[in-house]
Amino acid sequence: MRPILFLYILALYILVQFCWWAYLLIDLNAEVFEHRIENVRLKSESKESQAKEIKYLEKKIKQRRWMVIGEGSVFLLLLVWGSVHSIKAFKKEVDLARQQKNFLLSITHEFKSPLASIKLYLQTILRHNLEREKEISFINNAIYDTERLNNLVENALLANLINHKGYNFDREEINLSAFVRLIVQKFQNVPNHEKIYSHIEDGIYILGDKNALHLLLSNLLENAWKYSPEEKSIVVDLEKTSGGIKLCISDNGVGIPDEYKSKIFQKFFRIGNEETRKSKGTGLGLFIVKHIVEGHEGKIFVMDNKPQGTIICAEFKSKLS
């Protein structure tokens, strides 16, 4: 905050000094013309020529005064406009630097955590003669953490491509009903993820990018699960609408405050401080989700889930059949 405060003080100081200099310039001009008028009174040979000369000088001083006021006003407006935009740009850079710092902190944790988990699962399987059921559970957990790592890498690569407008969405016919069921089933097979329920209408197809849609669903499900207490459930709804189709992910978690609903789809944005936050994440998931939906000519929005939680919905237009 100190650099921003310094900018505010500097801008205020320049503004005050400019107004003071303008006042001094007007006052000085008035003083100069008063002396010139006094000289005319002393040197003029007749009252007629004296009055004519004084009238000319009074007109001249008014012109000078309005010239200073006019040019000063333009300069003042430019100064205020430049100061405001400079401060906004500086704040934007500070916010971006803070977000990038948070991203580096979070991505480091996000990579280290599943790697350590996978290593522990594999070492446990190697060193101990586990029951088959326990061994399968550990293997499934390791597979899930591997998929999480893969999604992290895919998110980072896709976010970079989106940033540089280098990603082109492929188009192929996909049975979205079966596609969503398969991804939901994968999440249900992971321990502690059993409370994921789905209401999926049959026969919904989309011309879309399979990899991108997989990332979209994975990010939404991961996000919903991450902010939901263990005893709560997640619901996936897929249905046809009059204008196309609608995909919604509902959770009973902590919810999103109204002031953050318009910001959660920004890159790197996460609620809270990265150094004290307990929840996982990189701030890229919903940013990528938004661009995937828009890349399929759809729209995404967030709502409150009554009595508690969040609903994130993606709507696609009628080109879906």
Is the pTM for the entire model greater than 0.75?
no
The CATH number given to whatever domain includes residue 154 is: 1.10.287
Residues 68 and 197 in one domain: no
Q: Would you state the pLDDT for residue 272?
A: 57
Residues 186 and 299 in one domain: yes
Q: What burial class does residue 244 get, using C-beta atoms within 10 Å of its C-beta: 0-12 exposed, 13-18 middle, 19+ buried?
A: middle
Residues 198 and 244 in one domain: yes
Q: Note whether residue 75 is domain-resident.
A: yes
Domain boundary among 95, 125, 145: 95
Which residue pairs, CB below 8 angstroms and at least 24 apart, start in 264-271?
264/302, 265/289, 265/290, 265/300, 267/99, 267/159, 267/163, 268/96, 268/99, 268/100, 268/102, 268/103, 269/99, 270/102, 270/106
Residues 308 and 201 in one domain: yes
Residues 312 and 176 in one domain: yes
Task: Quote the percentage of the chain above a pLDDT of 70.
Answer: 81
Strand order in the sheet with 245-251: 196-200, 234-240, 245-251, 310-316, 298-304
Residues 132 and 32 in one domain: no
pLDDT tens string 236-253: 999 998 878 999 999 888
Q: Would you state the pLDDT for residue 179?
A: 93
Q: Would you state the pLDDT for residue 37?
A: 66
Q: Note whether residue 103 is domain-resident.
A: no
4 or 288, higher pLDDT? 288
Q: Note whether residue 308 is domain-resident.
A: yes
* CB 89, CB 266: distance < 8 Å: no
Question: What's the whole-number mean pLDDT along residues 47-67?
Answer: 72
* CB 238, CB 201: distance < 8 Å: yes
Domains of the chain: total: 3
Residue the block writes with tokens 């503004």: 15
Q: Per-residue confidence at 77, pLDDT binned at 50, 70, 90?
A: confident
Domain boundary among 145, 163, 181: 163
Instruction: Pick the closest to residue 238 from 248, 227, 226 (CA basis).
Output: 248
The number of angstroms, rounded, from the C-alpha of 174 to the middle of its chain's C-alpha atoms is 31
Q: Would you state the pLDDT for residue 276?
A: 44
Residues 269 and 135 in one domain: no
Which helix (H) or strand (E) covers residue 65, if one does?
helix 47-127
Q: Note whether residue 105 is domain-resident.
A: no
Residues 275 and 229 in one domain: yes
Which helix (H) or strand (E) covers residue 313, if one does?
strand 310-316
Q: Note whether residue 280 is domain-resident.
A: yes
Q: Note whether residue 100 is domain-resident.
A: no
The CATH number given to whatever domain includes residue 262 is: 3.30.565.10
Residues 187 and 280 in one domain: yes
Residues with Cβ within 8 Å of 192's Cβ and at least 6 positions away in sequence, in order, are: 230
Q: Note whether residue 295 is domain-resident.
A: yes
Residues 179 and 247 in one domain: yes
- CA-atom Rg of the chain in angstroms: 33
Residues 6 and 41 in one domain: yes
Q: Would you state the pLDDT for residue 320?
A: 44
Domain boundary among 56, 71, 95: 95
Within 10 angstroms of residue 254's Cβ, the number of other Cβ atoms is 14
Q: Note whether residue 18 is domain-resident.
A: yes
Distance from first CA to last CA of the chain, Å, rounded?
53
Euclidean distance between CA atoms 303 and 145, whole angstroms: 30
Which domain covers residue 147, as residue numbers? Answer: 110-163
Euclidean distance between CA atoms 213 and 133, whole angstroms: 32
SS3 254: coil
Residues 132 and 68 in one domain: no
DSSP state of 46: S
